[in-house]
Structure 1
Amino acid sequence: MSADRSRLNYADLQNPLFIHPSDGPGSFSVGEKLTGAENYRTWRRGMEIGLSILYVQSASAVWNYLQRRFSLSQGSRKYKLIKDVYSVKQDGHSVSKYYTVMRGIWEELNAMNELPRMTTIAEDVTRFLNALLKQQEELKLFFQFLNGLDEKYQSMRSQILIMKPLPPVDTACGMIQ
């Protein structure tokens, strides 16, 4: 082998597909490099998870294990998110930033819902139930959003609340901005 071919190129090391000679079935890498106290908790959590699945034989078994392990803590996570959604306030930030924070919490809560699929229900009943659920969810988000706005938006909030029908939450956000 020539001297040029035996030397590793720096660009090769940066390639996400690069495999180092020490990489193998018995090794794992943590996605985040430890940089100090500011990311220690995240790094430590990644290491703990990595070590707990180090000797699992297949990718399917790893995913099944992780799903069982972390789905148990959804109750406490859901509780925290619901608590957060009622405690988040605008606190002088822009309406857009406040709405983005609220939307993030709503999306995470929505992703945690595991509803069983119903297969034997009439199509018109399905449409009605879907419309009803969507309306209830939109109304809940609407009131949560208005609840956290700064007091300087009190008059705008009052104007929006007397509208018939009440606007969707994203429309209300646009009206306030």
Structure 2
Amino acid sequence: MAENNDNGINTDADQNQTITQNTNSNTNHYDPSLPNSPYFIGANESSGALLVTQMLDANNYHSWARSIKRALRIKNKLGFIDGSLCAPADAENPLMEHWLYCNDIVISWLQNTMTVDIKASTLYVETAHQLWVEIEQRLAQQNAPRIYEIKQGIAALMQGHDTVSTYFSKLKTLLDELINYESIPNCTCGGLKTVVSNQERDWVMKFLMGLNESYKGLKAQILLIKPFPKLKEVYSLIQQEEKRREISNDALATEGMALVSRMDMREVEKKNTESPKKYYCTFCKMAGH
């Protein structure tokens, strides 16, 4: 028997209305005509679209996978590769055709970003999720050689003739890729705070060690800062110093050019003053012509 609404208890009618609203909400979520639906395909989203510019090969799975996930999340198609959006259980379901179409689109998108040899081995997969798992099992396990290459690259990286910005970008790219292989687990208890702090300090040390010797004095000052600064803060300080030097060099160059110009004018004036003395008229017995 349904209770009265005045007693603060939902009636059967209210419960039925809530169920109906939830059902309608779920139906709207999967409505292919709505942009927020995973089954929605935009006018420019063809099977030939290129989600990312990086082509998958045997050495870059983690960075490729990260870019692909981001691109599919934007298009609301991530569920097709992570297995959260499965095909309707009922083959007569009106959404089945939409699911099959989107599944094939996602497979094409993934294969468009693979090298020829990898793509050739995935031609007969049935679902985007199956393709994703297969690629992960084949390429994600080859960690040790890539980690070695990344750490070797970090150790050997020096600024050289690069600007501070270019040098930092190269280092940050290697560090970000290394995190994909050696990420520190999230911890809310604070037990890993020291580990994270030490990692950040190591990154700063490497950045400073790779800088040119012309920054030796500034590097010594940074090492004395307490609390120890983060990598982005140190980069900002070094870049500001680089800009200051550029401005100083420009000012010196301008001053030098002005000095040369003044010296040239003096030479011209001197020649103009001396030139009349070079001529002597034997007829008039006078100098200057």
TM-score, normalisation: structure 1: 0.68
Q: Which residue of 1 aligns with 2:208?
A: 146
Distance 1:116 1:99, change over 3 A: closer
CA distance in 1, matches of 2:185, 2:124: 33
Give the Å deviation of 1:145: 0.6
Question: Per-residue CA shift, 1:34-84, capped at 9, x if unaligned?
Answer: xxxxxxxxxxx6111110111122222111110011112221111100111
- Could you tell me whether the CA contact under 8 Å between 1:89 and 1:98 is conserved in 2? yes
Q: Residue 201 of structure 2 aligns to a residue in which SS? A: helix
Q: Which residue of 1 aligns with 2:195?
A: 133
Give the alignment of 1:57-136 within 5 angstroms. 57-113=126-182, 126-127=189-190, 129-136=191-198
Q: Which runs of 5+ in 2 are unaligned?
A: 1-43, 49-103, 240-289
Partner of residue 46 from structure 1, selected from 115, 129, 143 = 115
Q: Which residue of 2 aligns with 1:173?
A: 235
CA distance in 2, matches of 1:115, 1:162: 27
Distance 1:156 1:103, change over 3 A: same
Give the Å deviation of 1:165: 2.7
Q: Which amino acid aligns with 1:108?
A: E
Give the Å deviation of 1:176: 1.3
- Could you tell me whether the CA contact under 8 Å between 2:164 and 2:238 is conserved in 1? yes
Q: With CA pairs under 8 Å and 6+ residues apart, which has the higher RCO, 1 or 2? A: 1
CA distance in 2, matches of 1:58, 1:18: 15
Q: Which runs of 5+ in 1 are unaligned?
A: 1-14, 20-24, 33-44
Give the Å deviation of 1:115: 6.2
Q: CA RMSD, aligned part only?
A: 2.7
2:242 equivalent to 1:161: no
Question: Per-residue CA shift, 1:70-101, capped at 9, x if unaligned?
Answer: 11222111110011111111112111221111
CA distance in 2, matches of 1:117, 1:163: 28
CA distance in 2, matches of 1:28, 1:76: 30
- Could you tell me whether the CA contact under 8 Å between 1:142 and 1:168 is conserved in 2? yes
Identity %: 24
Matched pairs, number: 139
Distance 1:113 1:88, change over 3 A: same
Q: Which amino acid aligns with 2:211?
A: L
CA distance in 1, matches of 2:169, 2:184: 26
TM-score, normalisation: structure 2: 0.43
Distance 1:139 1:88, change over 3 A: same
Distance 1:176 1:18, change over 3 A: closer
Q: Residue 112 of structure 2 aligns to a residue in which SS? A: coil
Moved over 3 A (4+): 27-32, 114-118
- Could you tell me whether the CA contact under 8 Å between 2:208 and 2:219 is conserved in 1? yes
- Could you tell me whether the CA contact under 8 Å between 2:158 and 2:167 is conserved in 1? yes
Distance 1:59 1:115, change over 3 A: farther
2:46 equivalent to 1:17: yes
Q: Which residue of 1 aligns with 2:112?
A: 31
